[in-house]
Each structure stands twice: as structure tokens, then as C-alpha cells.
Chain A
Amino acid sequence: MKAYAKTALVLCLICACAALVLSLANALTAPRIKDYEDGVLKSALEAVSGGKAVGDYVPVEDNPVVSGYYPILPSGYILSLRANGYGGEITLLAAYDAKGVLTAAKLVSDSETPGLGKRAEESWYMDKFIGKGTDMPVRKNMLSASDAEAVSGASVTFTGVSRALLAGSMFVSMKEAN
């Protein structure tokens, strides 16, 4: 009994010390990480808005893919989308016109594999989706041979991103219809 108590106590103490050190590291780094993430979001918004005026963020509660949107003035939307990638959740900003046609998109955060899924961060990656609406290519056989080759080795990332963009297009179409 005494041996078990000692074992549990040592494990508890090590965990408590680890938690203390991590909380200190978090206190030191959290403000800088927040500034960095705000900067990334701001530059992504500027990139996808194409210089147009953007309204305030409107959160969306009941949608598994669309977490919120910024209205583009005079028409269109920039959606904040959640996609399922190979390394976890991918967050992206996607701009649509009033008909739900994608005009620009950019990854904001992801944990994809370097050299494979990470290629979705590069500017050329979204070109295959630009100009598409509900006809968004969500399978590799819907792409040209060169585009299919470009996403090979990262099918999960491609499927996650394309389905999120399709869901975004449908969200805009339904919103405009209402």
C-alpha cells in the first residue's frame, strides 16, 4: 500500500511541476501567438477580399463547416470554413460572389504534412477551385490530369478542402435564396 502511495505521489508531483512550467511558458508566449494569429487572419482577409470593403464578422452557430462570415460590400461573402485535413482541422477563408461562385481562398491554419498536405497553403493550390460554385471538384477524377497529379499524396487534404469550399458555396446560395 505504502509503495503504491509513493508511486502515485511521485507521478502527481512530476505532473504538477510540468503543469506549472507549462503555464509559465504559456503566459510568456500567448500574447505573442495571439498577435501573430491576428496578423495572419488580417493578411488572409486582405488577400481574399481583393481590395473590396469588408463588413464585421458574423458568427454562424448551427453549421459544422461554416463558422462565420464577413459580408463583402456591396455583394458577396468571405466565409471562415472548417475542413478535415490529414493532421486535424484546417481553417480557411474563402470569398464567394452573391451566386456562390468562389473568387478567392486561403488557408489560415493547418497541421498538414510538410511536402504533401502543406502544399494547400501555396497560392496555386486554390486555382483549381476558383470560378467554381456547386460544381466544385470534390474528387480527383473531376480534376485535369495536371491538377490531379499536383494533389497526389495528399488526397485527404484535397477532399477536406474541396468539400469545405463546396459547403461554403451551398451556404452562400441558400443565404441569397432566403
Chain B
Amino acid sequence: MKVKELTKGILRENPVFIIMLGMCPTLGVTTQVINALGMGAGVIFVLTCSNILIAALKNIIPDSVRIPCYIVIIASFVTIVEMFLHAFAPSIYAALGVYLPLIVVNCIILGRAEAFASKNSVADSLLDGIGMGLGFTLALTLIALIREVLGKGTITVFAIGGFNGVISVPLLKDWPVRVMALAPGALLLMGYLKAFFNRLSEKKAQNQEAAK
């Protein structure tokens, strides 16, 4: 078991900012922080479970039908998430809408199944699933936080007791930058964040080169 399998997905091989996978839900559900957290939790569960099962069955699944088998496994876990969210967290189920069933075709999940779980041990695949899922969730939450604060002047999290789950940001609540709440704002922000993470990667590579 290698700990780097857990940490690589968070920054070094972040699925959103570095590998650029799962762009559709990344741009679509990041209108509110709560949507990003709900989507992220769903992806962590599906990615971890499918990685474990695919790694465990890698010697049994014939190569010629591996993709249909992966899709059946992933779709089953997504349907389970969908049923449980509908039953126990209906507000998140309603907010995620069509993006929830679309986790089945999320490139990150099928990509990790094909590129990692089908070639590595169950323990490493478990760590890879959790790490990549956490990286995806952190990326979604960061984008959603910036978009919601600038675009609506609020931060929407889970309602607890008397707290309704909505934190208002002074000034921005009355004068929001509306484009950030819309699709063009998501694309603009994604571009800036990608540039920032590219710069970080370049700087790290330059430091490593200088150290040699």
C-alpha cells in the first residue's frame, strides 16, 4: 500500500485542475457550495467502491468485455447513491438533478477504472479512489465557493438546527457579479484556476531542476 496513491489526486494529479477530467459536472453543479459537496461525496463513494470492486475482479473480467463490466459496476453504485440521496437527502438529490445519474459516464470514474484499478491491487485502488475523489471534491468546492460568493453573495452549506445553511456576504449580497453565477463565469474562473495551477506545476518543476 502506497500513501502517495492517496495524496497524488489532491494536488499533483488533481483530476479537475491537472488531468482536466469531469468538466461537465465541474462547470454545471458549482453554482452553490452545497451542490459541490453533495456531488463530491457521491463521486468519492462511487469512485472508491468501483475501484475496489474492479481491482478485486480484474483477473476474472475478460479483457474483451471489461468496459461493459466496468459500466455495469459503476452504474450500480451510482443508482445506489441516487436511491439513498432521494430517500435521505432529497434536497441535495433535487439540487444535483441530471448530474447525479451522469456520474455513470464521468470520465474520472471510468478513467481511474481503466488506467489504475484494472492494473493495481485492491488496497492501492482504494487509496487512489479516495484521493482522486477528495481532489475532485476540493476542486468543485473551491470553484463553487468563488462562484457563489462573487455571483450571489452567499455561501450555502447544510442547514443545522435553527441555522438555515445560508451565509450572506456583506456588499456582494446586494451587488453580486452576476456573470459568475452563470455558465460563462464558470468557464472564465476555470481558465484562471487552470492558469494558476499550471504556474504552480511549472514553478515546482523549475525548483526540482535547480536542485539537481
User: Taking beta carbons and an 8 Å cutoff, which residues of A are in contact with B?
Assistant: 3, 6-7, 10-11, 14-15, 18, 21-22, 25-26, 28-29, 32-33, 36, 87-88, 110-116, 118, 121, 153
Contact = CB atoms under 8 A, between A and B. Distances in A.
B37 interface: no
B62 A10 contact: yes
A21 B80 contact: yes
A7 B87 contact: no
Interface in B42-92: 57, 60-62, 64-65, 68-69, 72-73, 75-76, 79-80, 83-84, 86-88, 90
A89 to B, nearest CB: 12
Contact of A153 (B29, B57, B87, B182): B182
B61 A10 contact: yes
Interface of A is mostly: helix
B161 interface: no
A29 B84 contact: yes
Contacts, number: 79
Nearest to A17: B76
Interface of B: 28-29, 31, 35, 57, 60-62, 64-65, 68-69, 72-73, 75-76, 79-80, 83-84, 86-88, 90, 94-99, 181-183
Given A22-B80, A112-B98, A115-B31, A10 B86 contact: no
19 contacts: A7-B62, A10-B61, A11-B65, A18-B75, A18-B76, A21-B76, A22-B79, A22-B80, A25-B79, A25-B80, A29-B83, A87-B97, A87-B98, A114-B99, A115-B28, A115-B183, A118-B95, A153-B182, A153-B183
Contacts of B95: 114, 118
A88 B35 CA distance: 21
Contacts of A87: 97-98
A114 B29 contact: yes
A36 B31 contact: no
Contacts of A25: 79-80, 83-84
Nearest to B81: A25
